[in-house]
Each structure stands twice: as structure tokens, then as C-alpha cells.
Amino acid sequence: MQLNDTVILIAVFAAVLILVFTLANTVARRREISRNLDKVGSAGRGKLAEIDKIFSEEHAYVQHYYNVQRNAAADGLDMRLIRAGFLSPKATQIFNVLRFAISAGVFILTWAALNTISGGVTATMSALLAMMLAGVAFILCSAGLDYFQSRRLTEARRLFPDLMDLLIVCVDAGMSIEAALDRVAREFLRTNPLFGFHLSIISLETRAGRPLHEALANFAERTGVEEAKILATLFRQSQELGASVIRTLRVFSTEMRETRMVKAEEKANALPVKMLFPMAGFLFPVNLVIVLVPVMIMLIKMFTTLKPGG
């Protein structure tokens, strides 16, 4: 009887403990959710203010892009920095200063190291070698910019199908293509600010009266996305022929996804050939060791245990 009472008390204690833990956990989670909602609301209001500032044509990055488009060359340093994602008006100055500082630092370090370590190297040879390495560092800075530019291009190509899907949804809902671009640009500014910035420039250009195909061609020039050039051509042809915009978007989206699938299949088919040489280089020696080492051990034991006859 006493054992049953003890079991009942333990069960009651465990039930009360579980109930208290559940209530405390529920209250804590509700407080955390409310705090997160407050943070999201305040951040969202700040984000909306920044987005409205971009679309008001008073943003410094937008003005800098227009200045570069009017005054700089298409393949100049300013446009390359914009393609790489550096949108600040001071980006060119900062890049030139960093490139000069890195080159000068490489020159000074190389010259000091050669004069300190190698006593047989003349001062002229040390200066020439230091200048050569400084020139290599100068070129590598440009190569680094090209690397960032290729990364942004890959990201833009990855996001472009999502752009097409969102445009189709908005146009199906009854919005015009200009209003759909404005809406999609605002959504991308929340999730991917750089890609959304380029889309917001399209919206600003169409508001100013520029034809949509020209705005898309400028977008392709900024990002390097070939699909945007094709879409600009399709929009121009659809406007000239009076074709449906939604049908153009649907056909292009389908063809683009089929093209991406074909490219993915090409990469998948080329993968076994690419894996052949690493597998042969790393697996074949290991298999050779696994096969030959036991045989060699047996031969060594056999030769060491042999005794001369007689």
C-alpha cells in the first residue's frame, strides 16, 4: 500500500512538473515571437523607407549609375565596378587607392626582402624584380574585380528565372508590365538588394518614358545576363507586331527553363569524364598498395626464413 502511494505521488509530481515546464515554455515562446515581430516590423519600416528613397530617383547609387552611363565607357572601370556590385560613387577612387597601395606594398616588401636575404643580388636587379611583382599585383587586382563580376553574373542568372515567374504571376493578376516590374523590384530589394537595385533602375527608366526593351537592354549591360538581351529583343518584336506580352513571357520562360535543363544535363554527362582522372590518380595507387603490400610481406617473410641447404 505504501509503495502504491509513493508511485502515485511520483506520478503527480512528474505531471505537475511537465505542466509547469509546458506553460513556461509556451509563455517564453510567445514573448520571443512578439519580440521578433517587433524587430521585423521596425526593420521592415526602415527597409520600406530605403526602397521608397531608391524609387524617388534621389538615391546616390542611382544618380551615380546615370552619371556612369552618360559619361563612362561601356567596358570602363566604373561600369565594371557596377557589374561587380560596388555601387558607391566613391568605388572607383577606393579601388584605385587599394590597387596602388597593394602594388606599392608588394614593391617595398619585395625590395626589402631581396636586399636583406640575398646579399649577392644587386640593387638594380632587386628593383626590377620588385617592379615585376608589383605589376603582377596590379594585374591581380583587376583579376579580383573580374572574379567578383563573374560571381554577380552567376547570381543574376540564377535569379532571372524567379524574376520571370514573378512577372508572369503579376501580369496574370491584371497588372501592367511596368507595374509588375515595379512590384517585383520592391520584392527583390527585400531579399536580394543588388539584383533588386538593377530592377528598380528598369522601373525608373520606364517611368521616365524609355521603352521597355531599351530598359531591359541597359539591364543586360549592367548585369551581363544574356537572357535579358533576348527578352529585350522579344519585347521589341512583340510591341512592333502587337503580340501579347503575357504570351511572350510564358514562351520565353519555358524556353529558358528548357535551356537550363539542357545545360544541367550537359554538365551531368561531362561529370564522369571529369571524375576519371582524379579517381585514377588517387584510387589506383591505393589499390596498387593494397594488392602488392601483402604479396611483398609474404615474399620478405619467405626469403628471410630460407636457409641454405646441407
Per residue in 17-28, pLDDT (tens digit) is: 788 888 888 888
Burial of 55 (0-12, 13-18, 19+ CB in 10 A): middle
Q: For residue 165, what is its C-alpha cell?
A: 515567374
Per-residue confidence (pLDDT) for residue 119, from 0 to 100: 60
Same domain, 105 and 207: no
* Residue 308 φ/ψ, nearest 5 degrees: -65, 145
- Mean pLDDT calculated for residue range 37-52: 56
* Residue 188 φ/ψ, nearest 5 degrees: -70, -30
Q: For residue 302, what is its C-alpha cell?
A: 619467405
Contact 76, 82 (CB under 8 A): no
Q: What's the pLDDT tens digit per position in 180-236? A: 888 888 888 888 888 888 888 888 888 878 888 888 888 888 888 888 888 888 878
Same domain, 89 and 198: no
* Confidence grade of residue 307 (pLDDT, cut at 50, 70, 90): low
Q: Sign of torsion, CA 165 169 171 172?
A: positive
Q: Is 90 contained in some domain?
A: yes
Same domain, 129 and 193: no
- Mean pLDDT calculated for residue range 74-98: 85
Q: For residue 181, what is its C-alpha cell?
A: 516590374
Same domain, 110 and 174: no
User: How many other C-beta atoms can be found within 10 angstroms of the C-beta atom of residue 251?
Assistant: 14
- Mean pLDDT calculated for residue range 247-255: 80
Structural domain of 241: 156-259
- Mean pLDDT calculated for residue range 3-24: 74
Per-residue confidence (pLDDT) for residue 43, from 0 to 100: 46
Dihedral, CA of residue 132, residue 137, residue 139 and residue 142, to nearest 10: -170
Question: How many domains are there within the chain?
Answer: 2
- Mean pLDDT calculated for residue range 100-116: 85
